[in-house]
Amino acid sequence: MSVATPAWLSLDDARERALAATPVLTGTETVLLAEALNRITACAIQAPVNVPPWDNSAMDGYALRAEDADLNTCIPVSMTVFAGDSQIQELARGTAARIMTGAPLPAGADTVVMQENVQRNGDDIVITEPPRQFANIRRKGNDITHGDTVISAGTRLNAAHLMLLASQGLDTVTVYRPLRVGLMVTGDELQTPGTPLQPGHIYESNRTGLKALLAPLAVSVTDYGIVPDDKAALINVMRRACGEVDMLISSGGVSVGDADYVKEVLESLGDVNFWKVAVKPGKPFAFGMMDNTCFCGVPGNPVSAYVTTQLLVRPVIERYQGLAAPTQPLALSATLTTAVQRRAGRTEFQRAVMHPTQGGWQVTPLPRQSSGVMSSVTQANCYLVVPAEVSTLDAGSPATVLPFDTRLTPEGVL
Ligand SMILES: Nc1nc2c(c(=O)[nH]1)N[C@H]1C(S)=C(S)[C@@H](COP(=O)(O)OP(=O)(O)OC[C@H]3O[C@@H](n4cnc5c(N)ncnc54)[C@H](O)[C@@H]3O)O[C@H]1N2
Ligand code: MOO
């Protein structure tokens, strides 16, 4: 008897299909560096100046000609140079200049001896360690040379990029305009936090989590609120979003229940590119286009919404924003402390705790993996990835883990 294969895309295929259908922003704007963190450069940036702009000292000490630096010989100190000094005289032959870190190197000097390697006797110095030519000198353009491409187009600007742009004397940068992302959740049972809970209701938490996941991506979010399980209401909000945002993320109502209308409404307003992905949690994820607005329908179960936003929505946002190279989660190998038994078929992202040992990382999946159990996401510090075709992983076998962060919460969160 043949077994029908489910019409689900693999996670990789789903991601590829979503990325292939996603447009790239064209609008750009010039913003102050102070407002540019996490924005994406719209063009390559060439260095307007050399860094450093001139040869300068890397140490507090004495600048001189290396050939004059005979050990145990008294060398007169003929001048002093501070950082910020200009119009510096040439260094007289056979003499040294007292020099501070960052001060321009006087013409003629070709080495700096740090003051710890010098004895100062009144107006003279005696060198106790022989200096190499060009030691302790930061050469003009050594860090960045005028005209170099310092940042390429499609780069998400981090703190280091902003520092580098500032070192170039720039106070603005041209970036893609913010991606306009709409967020809606659907469900008659959903109630805004901060109000007394009504019978049959639960507190709505997905918008809070998704907004936080989107925050580092520097998108501009329009909150379309809680939409009832009602086709007309969904059509109304989704049609409005079409004219207002580049991308709409909806949560809930995307499975097969009698009040799950999201996919049907997407079909009526645009095209469903795919629905259902072989991923756990997150199977009923839907992707499509409504005119030029990209649509991502994440499942309502909180963990499913959270995980699919990380796995599928984030790459789509990055592509749409103009990021040149999509980001990849850091994947490490860890040894399983306990066996994993499960039904094969979907790539599974289990909430787990990883910790360092002398032999490398170990990983322990958390006991509660239901997609409604958000508390285990807060207790985990990584996902344990179980490949789609695998039903058993033995204790002691290697497994792939995706740390939530580069700084892990220590063991003890359990
Ligand atoms: N017969 C089947 N039933 C279900 C299937 C299936 O294949 N066959 N798939 C299950 C899977 S897997 C998932 S995931 C869920 C997803 O369903 P929906 O996207 O339609 O989500 P809802 O039914 O609207 O909600 C599910 C669950 O999550 C709660 N929820 C929804 N939104 C929020 C929110 N914003 N904040 C907090 N909690 C939320 C909701 O109350 C439900 O308990 O379908 C399975 N069913
Ligand atoms: O795909 Mo669902 O997220 O397993 O509950």
* pLDDT one digit per residue (tens) for the chain, 414 residues: 444 556 789 999 999 999 999 999 999 999 999 999 999 999 999 999 999 999 999 999 999 999 999 888 999 999 999 999 999 999 999 999 999 999 999 999 999 999 999 999 999 999 999 899 999 999 999 999 999 999 999 999 999 999 999 999 999 999 999 999 999 999 999 999 999 999 999 999 999 999 999 999 999 999 999 999 999 999 999 999 999 999 999 999 999 999 999 999 999 999 999 999 999 999 999 999 999 999 999 999 999 999 999 999 999 999 999 999 889 999 999 999 999 999 999 999 999 999 999 989 999 999 999 999 999 999 999 999 999 999 999 999 999 999 999 888 765 444
What φ, ψ does residue 382 adopt, rounded to 5°?
A: -165, 165
Are the CB atoms for 312 and 285 separated by under 8 Å?
A: yes
Mutate to test the pocket of ligand 1, among 301, 303, 371 (most ligand atoms within 8 A of CB): 301
Torsion angle of C-alpha atoms 173, 175, 179, 180, degrees rounded to 10: 50
For atom 12 of ligand 1, which residue has the closest CA?
A: 283
Tell me which DSSP letter residue 309 carries.
Answer: I
Cβ atoms within 10 Å, residue 333: 11
pLDDT at site 3: 47
Are the CB atoms for 46 and 147 separated by under 8 Å?
A: yes
d(CA 162, CA 167): 9
Instruction: Measure 307 CA to ligand 2 centroid, in angstroms.
Output: 10
d(CA 307, CA 354): 18
The ligand whose atoms approach the alpha carbon of 279 most closely is 2
* Angle of CA points 102, 117, 122, to nearest 5°: 90
Q: In order of start, what are the domains of the chain with their CATH numbers?
A: 11-26+178-312 (3.40.980.10), 28-51+143-176 (3.90.105.10), 56-138 (2.170.190.11), 332-403 (2.40.340.10)
One-character DSSP codes across 375-405? HHHHH-SEEEEE-TT--EE-TT-EEEEEES-
* Ligand 2 atom nearest 281 alpha carbon: 3
For atom 4 of ligand 2, which residue has the closest CA?
A: 281
Instruction: Measure 284 CA to ligand 2 centroid, in angstroms.
Output: 7
Are the CB atoms for 315 and 19 separated by under 8 Å?
A: yes
Are the CB atoms for 113 and 64 separated by under 8 Å?
A: yes
Q: Is the CB of 281 inside a 6 Å radius of any atom of ligand 2?
A: yes
Are the CB atoms for 63 and 108 separated by under 8 Å?
A: no
The ligand whose atoms approach the alpha carbon of 299 most closely is 1
Q: Is the CB of 283 inside a 6 Å radius of any atom of ligand 2?
A: yes
Q: Structure pTM?
A: 0.94
Q: Is the CB of 299 inside a 6 Å radius of any atom of ligand 2?
A: yes
For atom 5 of ligand 2, which residue has the closest CA?
A: 371
Peptide bond into 281 cis (omega under 30): yes
